[in-house]
Each structure stands twice: as structure tokens, then as C-alpha cells.
Amino acid sequence: MQVLDGKALAETIKEELRQEVDQIRLAGGKIPHLAAVLVGADPASEVYVRNKVQSCEQVGFQSTLIRRGSETTQEEVLEIVRRLNDDPDVDGFIVQLPLPKHIDEDTVNLAIRPEKDVDGFTPVNIGRMTLGLPAYLPATPNGIMTMLERYGIETEGKEVVVLGRSNIVGTPMSILLSRKGNPGNATVTLCHSRTQDMAAHTRRADILIAAIGIPEMVTAELVKPGAVVIDVGINRVEDASRSRGFRLCGDVDYASLEPIVSAMTPVPGGVGPMTVVSLLMNTLKASKGRLS
């Protein structure tokens, strides 16, 4: 089985980005600047934002982290978004999700200007992606597409099953893989909690993408021998044998699939690092003022 090592690939791409930023600096050009807004104290969000800031430093980007407490009002968050929209030095920014429950995430998302939406979540970028036009692609799906391309995973004419229909991963993933291009040109089935006989779909998949948020739900009997498996899930489960009292796992039962699949992403160290790299790639595009 081939391990699709997202951590190693992300380091390779970050080195490519660092070299490009060095050339921009030597030419006296504008250094890409990514800002992140973190509201509240969600532990996972803290980790994600810290990784993004560290990655910016690694490739030579400027980065700004704006922290606010969980008591911050929606209007205060919207004011931060307005300031970042209007700041010519900030090329792109993200508002880290989830937000506290009293803040409407859709309202905040709609306030972000599309040209600074390096997370690829605004309706303009989603619409352009759907039409096959240049866009800032959602970071996790774009990271998976980059991984498939760099590891030479053939998608044309393949049966792909995506588990999960979120706007962040599942739905855009199904669109990207069904579009013309490489990777792409696949026949895609999108499964979700209301799908009848999910196993009938997953067992015929040449490529299975699990983004359903249920720890180790995908077991060997659900997977076609020789399939490529992309595990997007990252779940914290109790484990008394660990010093921390928990372990991280994906949506896939890695141990049971390892003997039968042809390639698979680990958790952690698979899709997660590629998500961060995609955000950096979008920020570099934004700093150049173009989507293509």
C-alpha cells in the first residue's frame, strides 16, 4: 500500500512557495500577507490557526492573527471583516470556524470580499468553481486535488464516492472531481446520512473520500480491494492507554483497510497539512491580484 503522505508533500510545496517568495522579495515586489481571525477558544481552532501562522513564517509570508474572546459580538466580528476588506496590505484572510453560537457564520462569510476569500467559501468563489472558472478553491478539497495530482492518482473515468455533503469538503469535492481537467473527469457519487445502502456505493468506488465525521466508520467490508482512500476526518476518541487520555483517528479504520487498498492517507499527517498549503497557495495568488 502506498501511503499518501500529506505532511511530506506539504513540506515540498512550502519549499517551492518559499523560493517564489524569495524571488518576489529580490525583485522588490509585494510579500503575500495572510490574516486570520480567531474568536473564542476552541482547542482545534487554536491548533489550526497556529499551524497556519507557522506555515506563513516558514514560506516568508507576512501574517496577522486577530484574537477575540468568545463574548465578542457579531457586529464586532463584522467590523473586523470590514477593516480587513479595506486594508490594501492584507491580500487574503480567514475567519476561523466554528464561531461562537451567537454569531451567524453565514452572515460573516457573506461579508468577506471574494477577492480576499482565500478559504474559498464565499458564494462568488463557489459559483465560479461550479462553472469551471478561475476561483479561490476551498482549501481542503483543493489540497486533496493537489495530492491526487502530485501522487499521480488517475481520476479520469474512475468511480469516485464522496462520503459527506458539507459545503466545506464533500460538496465542493464532488464538483471538482467531476469537472473537466486533471485531476477530474470522474464519475462521482455523493453519499450522506440519508443514502440508502451506502455499502453498495462505497464497494464500487475506485477512489473513496471519507468526510463524514464519524470515527473509523469506513471498515474493510465497505471498500473495494485496490481502492484509493482519502480520509478527511480527524476525530478525538477516548483512549485510556494514552497519556493524554485520547487518540486522534480519521473516518476510516486504517488498520483494517491497510492490507486491501492500493493507497491511503494517514490521520494525522494526510489531508490536514495539504489544507494549510492550499490556503498559502490561494494567498500567493491573491497577492498577485489574480485567480488563475
Give me the active site residues, please.
Answer: 52, 96, 119
C-alpha cell at 120: 474559498
Residue type, 108: V
Give strand ranges (E) for 117-216: 159-163, 187-191, 207-210
Q: Report the binding-site residues.
A: 164-166, 234
Cα–Cα distance for residue pair 2/20, rounded to 1 Å:
30
Say how many C-beta atoms besides its own lie within 10 A of residue 209's C-beta.
29
Using DSSP's 3-state secondary structure scheme, residue 33 falls into strand
The answer to whether the beta carbons of residues 186 and 215 sit under 8 Å apart is no
Whose cell is 498559502? That residue is 280
Q: Report the binding-site residues for NADP(+).
A: 164-166, 234
Residue type, 163: L
C-alpha cell at 100: 461562537
Q: Between the CA of residue 71 and those of 94, 110, 171, 265, what are the distances in Å? A: 19, 21, 32, 38
Using DSSP's 3-state secondary structure scheme, residue 62 falls into strand
Cα–Cα distance for residue pair 225/261, rounded to 1 Å:
5
| β-bridge partners, 209 | 162, 230
C-alpha cell at 140: 481542503
Residue type, 146: T
